[in-house]
Amino acid sequence: MGVLYDRECQQSMNKYGFRIRTRAGSLVENLQVQARDRAEAEQKINQIYHQCEILECQEVTPTLKKESLDLEDVVSLINKQEEKKS
């Protein structure tokens, strides 16, 4: 069990965004699912929304938040403060 778990952890999870039409005809937009690949993501959507029609699927790229300031950021902040004083 430990070896299988280690292999699964090594595969990165991606986020997929879906636009679907339910079997009742309702349009559902911006469904997001985490999965190892697109096939797994579609399988998860089909488990939740039986007999749905997948209209669109896109891999959602994560936006990385900048955690530290570099020299340019500090200079930019100083310039903004000086402009406010003027």
The mean pLDDT value for 73-85 works out to 77
Using alpha carbons, select from 51, 12, 15 the residue that is nearest to residue 32.
Answer: 15
- Enter the pTM of the model: 0.59
pLDDT tens-digit map of 2-28:
545 544 555 688 999 999 999 999 999
pLDDT tens-digit map of 56-67:
999 998 766 666
